[in-house]
Structure 1
């Protein structure tokens, strides 16, 4: 099945609400992440990206933290961005939406002068990120009740 979509930076409050709705569907409803930890103080300053069909229907989202917010997440290195909250609706999986979101976030990171992007991957998604050039480091850890690994890609 071919679905035409575009990935763009969230432009306004409606786009941001669409991003949050995708996250709620994937993380809260599907994966059981408590809603009170899904949304955090980093959302306000993050750069959000949104994948939408030509008719505007949301398909996926992700966010980039940079500056102080990213440094707080990655151990103090302000030159490294933090990719997070990558979510693709079930009906859009396998269409390349996730990879397109990651590449858009990397482009935004480059545009902000960042040298690398870190992320915390659910362990079942390690292969997806490895195919996109990310390398796992450090021990496995738990986040929101699920096993994760830290990963990085130098830009």
Structure 2
């Protein structure tokens, strides 16, 4: 298992994984899956046995690192790949002294996963692409 920053030419691989997980599996409307953050984001690819099986991204917005589009293909869930990708992103985030907070919105069933990484839920339930989410943050020192 390995995680690395995706090069510009690998964005298509990240988008393909997201299309399979979010659009095909979860029914997210295709027009809502891509957004303006894709061009500015740091994307990561998680691989299992050399095969891309997960992706995530982070966008740096003033003092906040906005993590999003975290997904792992069904056949690689439970392997620890999601945790590895998140740890990789957090390692990238803490290298930026201006960033004091990591923020994300989590699908409800993934809230415990992010809590294990130190994130705390706040606010109420928000809808994103027709799916219930919770806002979560990790304050950095």
1:117 is matched with which residue: 82, 89, 102?
102
- C-alpha separation in 1, matches of 2:27 and 2:49: 30
- 1:76-155 to structure 2, matched below 5 A, reads 78-113=62-97, 114-155=99-140
The gaps in structure 1 that reach 5 residues or longer are: 68-77
Q: Secondary structure at the match of 1:84?
A: strand
Give the 4+ runs in structure 1 shifted more than 3 A: none
Structure-2-length-normalised TM-score: 0.94
2:31 equivalent in structure 1: 36
Number of residues of Structure 1 aligned to a counterpart in Structure 2: 139
Q: 1:81-124: CA deviations, max 9, x gaps?
A: 00000000001000000011111111111122222200000111
Q: Identify, as 1 or 2, the structure richer in strand.
A: 2
- C-alpha separation in 2, matches of 1:41 and 1:52: 25
The gaps in structure 2 that reach 5 residues or longer are: none
